[in-house]
Amino acid sequence: MAGTIHQAGRKIWQTLSSTKTGVILLILTVVVSAGGTLILQRPVTDADEMQRAYSPQALRLLDTLGLTDVFHAWWFVMLLAAVSLSIVAASIQRFPNAWRYFARPYKSPDDNFRKALLFQQQIAVPDEEAGLSVAEKVFQTAGLKPERIVRQDSFSLFGERNRISEMAVYIVHASLLLIFLGGIVDAIYGWRGFVTLTRGEESSQVQAQNGSNHKLPFAIRCDGAGQENYADGTPKRWWSNLAVVERGRVVNTKEIVVNDPLVYRGIRFYQASYGRTGKVDKLLLTATSKTAKGESKEIALGLNETQSLDDDTTVRLAEFIPDYVVRDGQVYTRSEQLDNPAVHLMVSSKKSGKEVNVWMPALPGFEENAASRYSFEGKDVQMAYFTGLEVSHEPGQWAVWAGVILMSLGLGVVFYLVHMRVWAVPVHDARGQLFLWVGGTCNKNKDVFEQRFRKLVQEIESGIKVHSESGAQAPVTSMAGR
Amino acid sequence: MARVRAERQPAATGMTLVVMVGLGVAFLLFMALLNVAKSGNLLNESNLLYAALIFYSGAATLYLGFGVTGTPSYIRFASLATWAGLLANTGAVAHRWYEAGHPPFASIYEMLLSFVWTLAVLTLIAEKKYGVKVIGTVTMPVAIVGVVLMQLLRTDVHPLVPALQSTWLHVHVTLAMLAYAACALSFALAMMFLIQDRMTTETFLAATSLFSMATYLGILTRFEKWGGLSVVAWNPQEKSEVFIAKGVRLLVVIPELGWLMMVVLAAVAAPLVLYLLWRKSNNEGLLDMANRAVFVNILLQSLALVFFLLRARDGRYGSLDAEGLFPTSLAASPFILAGLVGGIFVSLLYLLLLWRRTDLERMLPSADELDRITYRTIAIAFPLLTLMIAAGAYWANRTWGSYWSWDPKETWAAITWLVYAGYLHMRITRGWRGRRAAYFAILGFAVVMFTFFGVTYLLPGLHAYA
């Protein structure tokens, strides 16, 4: 019984760690992601637009299948998890072999290994020491750190470079997992939201993307916001002066612009939008008395603010409509743009308690302008502006950036560092002639390595020639190919 | 027969082409100089670009001459012309950079400027370092198309909208251009590999037909009722597209053009149909007909291009989304234009292959060599792609507060990355070499093209700038 479970486990493990599974999962991910870009996605599309693009039945079907929010659907997350698992399994499966290479380099090659090696050459040498020391020097200059291997009965030489290259693939895979980990952490613990502030306003409530309210452990206050334009009128820069208020104290301030957020306790505030609220900040008016000749007064009113014009009369700004339209006996605003403004003032008298509706412009059916003791003329209007802040909390992003850096390094090693190994072993042939056997291997770019190896051999040969010429008579170099 | 002719020809016509191209370049430069002398401003961007165009054209002619005849001396002069063109191009890039105060990556125009520059550099590298001499035959005409497109697009320095004012954006786009240029090169190399690997000319015929069909199908996604073709409206005063909402462009319908594109689609599909019939029946006559159809296609495609140029350059057209008539411009439809020119170019390349295959085979490096170089190019492209995505994510994080939002361009960049990752895994762990690897490299580039053009053109998203 335990055996069958064991076998089943083995089977699952083998399936999971095979390249085939990995490739199938990758293809699935590619197909599903591509589908997600072709079908409109709910989180980034207006509901109206979705309805315009698809028929109700189609939309219902797409919604049920989760195809309108592919990238947040549970099965997409499962797919990514399966890809991760497959990477982990494949890496674990292949790791021991690579680790052997890495941790226990093969330093003294035996006969079988020597025979099978692709790149090798025998060089005639006068004596063991001469051959090995020349080879040592040549290895050294080629950047292949040479190491003398002493066995009971023999000396040999081993040199290598870029052993890390054997591990690089695992570095890349680990970095990919690190990125996934960051993404998962953010998907679970991260959130995004939006907050709109006018000047002087303070808030600790953030409208989260899923519609709920998110309460911040501190408050954010806008001390000013603005827009600067290029000469041609296109926006150049939006900015907001933000202050972080914690228990009544300002603990941090920053002027943020697009691309440069305020970060406090891992929560980041981005400049996202800027515009008119459609509400009036200050309305400047000239009030002229109809009775006393020429007596006029400049007044500034905010919404619902009251000012007295004389001992008896007061005026209040009751409504400000930025873009008015009259329909069915009602005044509406069409937009928040200051295109077609209407002003509704209440002029009241203390003595008689009478209230008079004054409209600018005079809207028939609403205005009682004639009954007012003052006439009004609009001078200027200052609209209130808001700054829109994107708020996000992504605790996993550090894992993502670490993963990215690690991956860049790993890929550099994978593609550009070649693990090269060379050996030099003194051997005797059948007739007792002494040779230096030189062999080498690499883990990629064999053609480049072949050239390097040929050069190494040539250098050793010429080194030995010089050595034997400076020394006494020595056998003329003779070579034997592999 | 062909071989004998190819070997005799160089001796007979050796220097004629070089002299002719030299005279042509000198003549054009002289004429341009006369014009410039009047205005007095010698080293401005459009002059430099014009000079680059002249030199690249000269280089392309010579490279093509080499492609056709194999005369080695052409290559020397072709490289020389490429160097001269590159010099002028570098001047134009530097001028633009200085003028705008930011690296030239902010608009399609600026990106094309950088792309052509990268392409010229890579051509010279491939030629000098890897000995792939014939590569200019492919890349130089592409460079010319790029420069011609630039002449049509807006050239005035446009201020950057706030979201684009970031060093990371420049890093991101530079890496993208480098990566895409490397992918383009790997594609060209994979194609050359297939030639050297004795893939039949008929298969190339089918592929050519398929490519043209895809292009025209892409264009015909804008087909409207009553046979019109929708193009983006253009505001000539502001030199920009007309938007009706954020990220939604106003489309105007050019009547009848849709029908014409339909006809051309049918025509470019004909060689594929004939090829399939030939596969079934083995009747050589069908193949002959298919090759003749390619010839007819080039004429029809040129016709489509001319009509498009004439009708889209000026004129006002109605729209389905708004009242009144709106102007359009070639600058508003760079992708349609690129598609039309690309289709013609690919068909011409096929004819080159059809007529001069033996000469081409003689001049290209061996299949093994090409296979290796393709892999090396991808080994350059892949880390660049990785860094490009990372830089883009970092920029998005600083601008929108999220490093990954599954917007279509992002998703397709990730898909590109996955496809090349697949190539590398198959090659390294499964030992895929040769034809299968070449197909993979071609697939990778197709995805790159879709990410670059298709996503911008067909799918909605945040990358409205590019």
Looking at the domain assignment, is residue A57 inside a domain?
Answer: yes
Instruction: State whether A307 and A352 are in the same domain.
Output: yes
- Taking alpha carbons only, the member of A281, A271, A236 closest to residue A388 is A271
Q: Does A97 touch chain B (CB under 8 A)?
A: no
- The minimal CB distance from B403 to the residues A36, A44, A397 is found for A397
C-alpha dihedral sign at A427, A428, A434, A437: negative
pLDDT at residue number A405 = 94
CA pair distance B203, B209, nearest whole angstrom: 10
- The minimal CB distance from B159 to the residues A230, A260, A415 is found for A230
Residues in chain B: 466
ipTM of predicted complex: 0.75
Q: Where are the extended beta strands (E) located within B335-453?
A: none
pLDDT at residue number A175 = 94
Q: Is the pLDDT of residue B382 over 90?
A: yes
Looking at the domain assignment, is residue A226 inside a domain?
Answer: yes
Instruction: State whether A372 and A326 are in the same domain.
Output: yes
B 159-188 → A contacts, CB under 8 A: 159, 161-163, 165-166
C-alpha dihedral sign at B128, B132, B134, B139: negative
Instruction: State whether A311 and A239 are in the same domain.
Output: no
Neighbours of B155 (CB within 10 A): 18
CA pair distance B160, B164, nearest whole angstrom: 6
The rounded Cα B131 to chain-centroid distance in angstroms is 22
Q: What average pLDDT does range B107-134 have in this prediction?
A: 81
- Burial of B340 by CB count in 10 Å (0-12 exposed, 13-18 middle, 19+ buried)? buried
Q: Is the pLDDT of residue B416 over 90?
A: yes
DSSP character at residue A320: E
Write out residues in chain A with pLDDT < 50, as ranges.
Answer: 472-482
pLDDT at residue number A179 = 93
> What token pair was written down for A274?
């800027």
CA pair distance A358, A368, nearest whole angstrom: 6
Beta-bridge partner residues of A423: A158, A439
Q: Is the pLDDT of residue B335 over 80?
A: no
Looking at the domain assignment, is residue A405 inside a domain?
Answer: no
Instruction: State whether A24 and A78 are in the same domain.
Output: yes
CA pair distance A240, A224, nearest whole angstrom: 6
pLDDT at residue number B3 = 39
Q: Nearest residue of A to residue B422 by CA position?
A: A23
Instruction: State whether A81 and A110 are in the same domain.
Output: no
Q: How far is A325 from chain B (nearest CA, A)?
A: 23
Q: Is the pLDDT of residue B5 over 70?
A: no
C-alpha dihedral sign at B258, B262, B263, B268: positive
Residue pair B352/B363 in contact (Cβ under 8 Å)? The answer is: no
Q: What is the mean pLDDT of chain B?
A: 80
- Total tally of structural domains belonging to chain A: 4
Q: Does the distance separating the beta carbons of B162 and A238 come in below 8 Å?
A: yes
- Burial of B187 by CB count in 10 Å (0-12 exposed, 13-18 middle, 19+ buried)? buried
Q: Nearest residue of B to residue A412 by CA position?
A: B383
> What token pair was written down for A312?
């008896």
Integer angstrom CA distances of residue B366 from A343, B195, B376: 83, 10, 15
Q: Does A250 touch chain B (CB under 8 A)?
A: no
Instruction: State whether A23 and A89 are in the same domain.
Output: yes
Instruction: State whether A62 and A47 are in the same domain.
Output: yes
CA pair distance B269, A74, nearest whole angstrom: 42
Looking at the domain assignment, is residue A171 inside a domain?
Answer: no
Instruction: State whether A96 and A109 are in the same domain.
Output: no
Coil, helix or strand at residue A367: coil
pLDDT at residue number A401 = 94
Instruction: State whether A435 and A473 are in the same domain.
Output: yes
Instruction: State whether A245 and A295 are in the same domain.
Output: no
Q: Does B430 touch chain A (CB under 8 A)?
A: yes
Q: Is the pLDDT of residue B194 over 80?
A: yes
Looking at the domain assignment, is residue A183 inside a domain?
Answer: no
A 377-416 → B contacts, CB under 8 A: 390-392, 394, 397, 400-401, 404, 407-408, 411-412, 415-416
- Taking alpha carbons only, the member of A423, A439, A416, A414 closest to residue A166 is A414
pLDDT at residue number A362 = 80
Instruction: State whether A391 and A339 are in the same domain.
Output: no
Instruction: State whether A243 and A197 are in the same domain.
Output: yes
User: Higher pLDDT residue, B147 or B28?
Assistant: B147
- Taking alpha carbons only, the member of B50, B49, B44 closest to residue B30 is B50
> What token pair was written down for B248?
């939604």
Q: Does the distance separating the beta carbons of A401 and B425 come in below 8 Å?
A: no
Q: So where are chain B's domains?
A: 200-356
User: Higher pLDDT residue, A419 or B112?
Assistant: A419
Of A90-104, B33-47, B63-77, B235-249, the poorest mean pLDDT is in: B33-47
Looking at the domain assignment, is residue A411 inside a domain?
Answer: no
Domain that residue A470 falls in:
105-162+418-480
CA pair distance B188, B195, nearest whole angstrom: 11
pLDDT at residue number A364 = 78
Q: How far is B81 from chain A (nearest CA, A)?
A: 32
Q: Nearest residue of A to residue B402 by CA position?
A: A392
pLDDT tens-digit map of B389-402? 999 998 888 877 78
Q: Nearest residue of A to residue B417 by CA position?
A: A30
Tokens 């494949």 sit on residue:
A90
Looking at the domain assignment, is residue A412 inside a domain?
Answer: no
CA pair distance B124, A82, nearest whole angstrom: 44
Q: Where are the extended beta strands (E) located within A77-175?
A: 119-124, 145-150, 155-161
At a CB cut-off of 8 Å and minimum separation 6, what does A454 contact? none
Q: Does the distance separating the beta carbons of A237 and B162 come in below 8 Å?
A: yes
Beta-bridge partner residues of A287: A297, A376
